[in-house]
Amino acid sequence: MRSKALLGTVLLMAAFAAWAKQPVATGNGGAVATISDEASQAALAILNAGGNAVDAAVAAAAVLGVTDPFSCGVGGGGFMLIYSVKDKRVIALDHRETAPAYFSPTVFQVDGKELEWDDAVPTGLSVGVPGTVRGWHDALSRYGTMSFSQVLKPAIRVAEQGFAVSENFNRINALNEAKFGRFTSTSQLYLKDRKALATGSRFRNPDLANTYKLLAQGGVKAFYEGALARDIVRAVNQPPAAPGVKVLSAQMTLNDLKDYEARLRQPIESTYRGYAFYGMPMPSSGGIAIAEALNILENFDLKALPRAQAEHLYLEASRLVFADRNAYVADGEFLDVPKAGLLSKDYAKERAKLIDPKATQGKRSAGDPYPFQNDLSVPLRPQAKLMAEPAHTTHLTVSDREGNVVAYTFTIEDWVGSGIVVPGRGFLLNNEMTDFEFSAPHPNVPEAGKRPRSSMSPTIVFKDGKPAFTVGSPGGSTIITTVLQTVVNHVDLGMSLADALAAPRLSQRNGDKTQVEKLLNFVGSAEAKALEAYGHQWNETDQIGAANGIRFNDDGTVTAVSEPLRHGGGSALVQKQ
């Protein structure tokens, strides 16, 4: 009872505290970095009430489901990387959505013709079995110290009391007016007179508050069985379409929900210039792709090179890695991915030989990792087209005084997921099934119970056996390049983690042009012109990712780092002693 009373006092203080939103904070206690000030404050409140990093991460994630509902929530899934100081090990908790039992490789084909991606997204067909609540439960029960009823209190308070709609919230809302307008439950929550909620208006979500109260009282079972489960299945199979709107439905069952399981997996382990890297394993492609890219770059002395040439090598390594990632990586429970070959330092040396240090080589083909496998894996090397992968997710990171660390990326996939709000429940359902390739043969084709390939890349990095820094980002397939470039900036180019994270992002995913950000005015800059001399060309997008990280400093202090500009700026907080 004492801990509950303390938590209530801390939350009350936090509710009236005049926190100044800041992207960088340094101190001696636990730390948190998220894209939402309310979420960061919730995590800090849990830490101050005696919770550990896992407790605080779940609390922050639940608040993000209120304040950033267009990119995450209980209707989706994710990947949580946990460093347990007691166990001295890193644990990968996979609670990625799974395909319902009715799925087959032709599920996204009508009369033998593939659906267009944009047509498949705002439908019941795109919804996978949500994994977020099961992931939170497993994280808390195995590695946390608090219950759902404790860690969900901040999110319930924010959902009930509401918050002022920010420019960024309004921007995303406005971009999705047409999608929201397809569903009655969604337009009732997020539109007013069929238009996005105005900046500065008060947004409350009492239905989501009640959903969280249900979980606080009934635990994980309240989500995957009973009335809430029935409401989810009904929304997927009979989408609440607006009058005159036709929406493809699905065949999800209550057993699909009841049978959902999260997975505890061994993380991807690799090394780079004296650091030990831990990343997410399959069905994420992030851990493998980042490790392979770093193995390739290890063959070049980036520190000794001009910045433009180092960045050129980073871009060329990214090309090679994405060629391999697209050809080979998917859910390892359904096929033999050549993991050992892709992670082999010797294989990376062979791939590095293909890079011209002075000129880009354009699109690359997948390599052959099988000779480096030392097993009997059966090659599957299709050159399928790369399906769209939306850039709308969220990442948070938390550490505590004891030394536990959490790097957590979770999502509902596209902005606003499928667009379907479960009527009366206040949360959006994912469109994660459109992360599958729509045609065979391919490692990532849809199959019953399968988890679609992801790019989510929560990463924890160690030096001399102790945490050195963490980094992660939203951004679809740009997540991989964001994390990789931040590492190169920090480790090779000598930037602080804050500067490395804030720098203009260059995302080369084996395309004709490299994607860059309008937000940071990269095109026309001296950096851009220097890279153009190597043959690089640009494709502009508004912004790439909204990353967060923590740096564990040599003097024993800790620095939490979030975005200064992207997504409206993030929130970094550190406990006071």
- Which residue numbers are catalytic? 393
Backbone angles phi, psi at 406, to 5 degrees: -130, 130
Q: Rounded distance, CA 96 to CA 262, Å? A: 7
Contacts for 503-507: CB closer than 8 Å, 24+ residues apart: 505/478, 505/481, 505/544, 505/545, 506/311, 506/314, 506/315, 506/481, 506/531, 507/318, 507/475, 507/478, 507/481, 507/482, 507/544
- Is the peptide bond preceding residue 446 cis, with omega within 30 degrees of 0? no
**DSSP code at position 31:** E
Cα gap 297→445, rounded to integer Å: 31
Q: In residues, how long is the chain?
A: 577
Residue ranges of E strands in 113-186 = 113-114, 163-164
Q: What share of the chain is helix, strand, coil (3-state, %, to 5)?
A: 35, 20, 45
Backbone angles phi, psi at 345, to 5 degrees: -65, -35
Q: Strands, E, within 76-232: which ranges?
A: 77-84, 89-95, 109-110, 113-114, 163-164, 191-192, 195-196, 202-203
DSSP symbol at 419:
S
Beta strands of 248-306 (E only): which ranges?
Answer: 263-265, 268-272, 275-279
Cα maximum dimension of the chain: 66
CB 370 within 8 A of CB 364: no
Measured CA angle at 77 (ends 549, 245), to 5 deg: 125
> Computed over its alpha carbons, how large is the radius of gyration of the chain?
22
What type of residue sits at position 410?
F
Question: In 3D, which of 103, 131, 108 has the Cα closest to residue 118?
Answer: 108
**Cα distances (angstroms) measured from residue 324 to each of 205, 278, 318, 351, 372:** 43, 20, 10, 10, 14
DSSP state at residue 68: S
How many whole angstroms separate alpha carbon 63 and alpha carbon 46? 12
Respond yes or no on whether the N-terminal peptide bond of residue 371 is cis (omega within 30° of 0): no
| Tokens encoding 557 | 């202090």
Whose structure tokens read 């929201």? 180
Closest CA to 347 of 364, 328, 325, 369: 369
Rounded distance between C-alpha atoms, residue 505 and residue 482, angstroms: 7
